[in-house]
Amino acid sequence: MMLKPIVKVIEVPVDSVTAYQLFTENMGDWWPLASRSISFHSDGVAAKALETDPVDGGAIVEIAADGTRHVWGHFLDCDPPSSIAMKFHMGQPEDHATHLVVSFIEMGDQQTLVKLMHSGWESYGALAQVMRDGYELGWDEIFCQAFAAACKTA
């Protein structure tokens, strides 16, 4: 059975170029690493940094407090400032990767509609529903709150 994608939509007070750059190039500046990182879930400490290389094939890499590098996924289709697609497997083996697409639709002067769609839950097998439920709540904190707040202060 295919599970429905998670879809989150927010409107942010910046142009699409700025929103795209914040989401891709500056992800480490707004992502809540103190609560949403491999380091936190495995060791109880915040990750030191999050590095991104927002080009086709570029990686998203968490840097743990001890310097260990954890690959969260890879950018698949970068179309600045309109959309970005990623293969995403934070804390999971790459064969459990899901698909994340974020689109940026300019609505007018300093207003952009940003839509996040996260799909491919079947890669988790029997844990698919549990993982989807966790990310449903996680994206509220990460995308709807942290990313939106970063856009408001940009």
pLDDT tens for residues 24-77?
999 999 999 999 999 988 888 889 999 999 999 999 999 999 999 999 999 999
pLDDT at 1 over 80: no
| Residue 133: inside a domain | yes
Q: How buried is 14 (Cβ within 10 angstroms: 0-12 exposed, 13-18 middle, 19+ buried)?
A: buried
Domain count along the chain = 1
30 secondary structure, DSSP code: H
In a domain, 71, yes or no: yes
Average pLDDT across the chain, whole number: 96
Contacts of 3 (CB under 8 A, 6+ apart): 121, 122, 128, 129, 132
State pTM to two decimals: 0.95
Burial class (CB in 10 A: 0-12, 13-18, 19+), 99: middle
Sheet strands side by side (includes 49-52):
6-12, 111-119, 98-108, 83-88, 69-79, 59-63, 49-52
| pLDDT tens for each residue of 88-124 | 999 899 999 999 999 999 999 899 999 999 999 999 9
Give the domain range for residue 82. Answer: 6-152
Q: Is residue 103 part of a domain?
A: yes
At residue 43, the pLDDT reads: 84
- In a domain, residue 1? The reply is no
Nearest residue to 49 via CA among 38, 60, 33, 36 = 33
Residue whose pair of structure tokens reads 């700025």 in the numeric block? 18
In a domain, 143, yes or no: yes
Looking up residue 34, the CATH number of its domain turns out to be 3.30.530.20
Q: Which residue has the tokens 């094939």?
A: 57
Q: Is residue 13 domain-resident?
A: yes
123 part of a folded domain: yes
- Cα gap 37→10, rounded to integer Å: 23
pLDDT grade for 19, boundaries at 50, 70 and 90: very high
Read off the pLDDT of residues 75-86 as tens digits, 9 standing for 90 and up: 999 999 999 999
In a domain, 50, yes or no: yes
